[in-house]
Amino acid sequence: MTEPMVKAEAVHKRFGRLEVLKGIDLEVRRGEVMCMLGPSGSGKSTFLRCINHLEKINAGRLSVDGQLVGYRESGGKLHELHEREVARKRAEIGMVFQHFNLFPHMTALENVTLAPIRVLGSAREEARRRARELLNRVGLGDKVDTYPMALSGGQQQRVAIARALAMQPKLMLFDEPTSALDPELVGDVLDAMRQLARDGMTMIVVTHEMGFAREVADAVVFLDEGVVVESGTPDQVIANPRETRTREFLSKVL
């Protein structure tokens, strides 16, 4: 069996005295789509942010592609990674945020080409060509020169997906990508994600879209109060939950 893309062992995270993650154990295999469900405050977004080191974990082990996140292990000791090394690892992980976080002072195309040019050192023309291709793929071929402000939420989120994909990541993290969207705009974003899943991208998706989770996810985990309450296939967790807490949550959102 090949190494999992993401492996978490007893991951703990505290904010001051508030313990948000109380020992998360999970594995995401290559090419797998994992959906994380759970009530707000359950720690799912925090866990996602730990994976690309936007948050530091306090205890446990977290690794991506066989390498520890944020540390290097040698001689039985953990050494903090230098900022540049952290940045290099982040470049291999795409992240899509709830509030899009597009760069408002740049056009859609500039948003997508910035990191490939500045971080990967791609040639400008090559980066622009690829960006056009990606924007086409998410259905925004005609919006390349538009500033984010003039795009709808759904369009902005699709630009954000294209921006993350432009780095050719090996893993994509989605932090409630459709929660800030008007209901009629959700579909286009989910379509783009569905397409990505079909292309074999490894994805972790924090979401409240049960339909999407059921249809696209290979694995579903249900988090509550900083622990994994239940995990399995969508059929097991969403259709036939064993735990009362899962059942209670699902009865509220379905």
Sites for other proteins among residues 28-57 (CB under 8 A): 52, 54
C-alpha–C-alpha distance, residues 72 and 86, integer Å:
11
C-alpha–C-alpha distance, residues 222 and 42, integer Å:
9
Residues in contact with 64: Cβ distance below 8 Å, sequence separation at least 6, in sequence order: 5, 6, 51, 89, 92, 93, 171
Which C-beta is closer to other proteins: that of 10 or that of 91? 91
Which C-beta is closer to other proteins: that of 180 or that of 250? 180
Pick one of 167, 185, 186, 205: the residue that binds other proteins (CB under 8 A).
167
Min. distance of Cβ 76 from other proteins in angstroms?
A: 28
Sites for other proteins among residues 79-138 (CB under 8 A): 83-84, 87-95, 97, 99, 101-107, 114-115, 118-119
* Per CB under 8 A, 193 contacts other proteins: no
Cα–Cα distance list, 227 to 13, 23, 54 (Å): 11, 6, 20
Q: What is the pattern of x (binds other proteins, CB under 8 A) and - over residues 143-162?
A: ----xxxx---------x--
Phi and psi torsions of 58, nearest 5°? -95, -30
Min. distance of Cβ 68 from other proteins in angstroms?
A: 18
Q: Which residues bind other proteins (CB under 8 A)?
A: 52, 54, 83-84, 87-95, 97, 99, 101-107, 114-115, 118-119, 147-150, 160, 163-164, 167
